[in-house]
Structure 1
Amino acid sequence: MASESTTTTDHDEIRQWVESNDGKPACVRDTGDGDDPGVLRFDFPGGAGDEALEQISWDEWFEKFDSQKLALLYQEKKASGEGSTFFKLVNR
């Protein structure tokens, strides 16, 4: 089975995928300034952990996502068929 990726800007679809993988909206700590949360990420259990992530609200996350004209490229399942938390933020 090949792994398929999907690209979306739909807030409900993004939130559903993240939450179905027990993730939370987050940013990389100390990359923002004032009201700018900085570099957007998702905080998944057992994730990379090499970056100091700070959880933020969905409203904050989506405000930055839309203002930067980003889209989410994500993978529903790995080639093995198990769920995947692979994602990348790309320009629209």
Structure 2
Amino acid sequence: MSSASQTTDHDEIRRWIKDRKGTPSRVRDSGDGGILRIDFGDPEEALEPIDWEAFFQIFEKSDLAFLHQDKTADGELSRFSKFVSRS
């Protein structure tokens, strides 16, 4: 079984997302700030792409950490990730 790691490091998060060809996004019409997501592949209608600056502003304002898995249990590149509260 492969384990997940947690980070708040912006460079590490950006690198992880880019390595998996993800796009920083937020849920469309999610109010002030927004709910962060990563869009992989074809853009989802419910999500709108945002730039890295806006992404990390929401990340910090919401006091989030990034939980992610680098490899699956069989050694493949994993896309498992989740935004969690720092506290």
Tell me: higher relative CO, structure 1 or 2? Use CA pairs within 8 A at least 6 residues apart: 1
**Which residue in 2 is equivalent to 1:26?**
25
Measured in 2, the distance between the counterparts of 1:69 and 1:60 equals 14
**2:8 is aligned with what amino acid?**
T
**2:40 is aligned with what amino acid?**
F
**Once the two structures are aligned, what percentage of the paired residues are identical?**
50
Does the alignment pair 1:17 with 2:16? yes
Instruction: Give the TM-score normalised by the residue count of structure 1.
Output: 0.86
SS in 2 for 1:4: coil
Measured in 2, the distance between the counterparts of 1:40 and 1:4 equals 22
1:45 CA displacement: 1.4
Q: Return 5+ residue gaps in structure 1 as ranges.
A: none
Runs of 4+ in 1 over 2 A off after TM superposition: none
Note the aligned Cα RMSD (angstroms): 1.5
Q: How many residues align?
A: 86
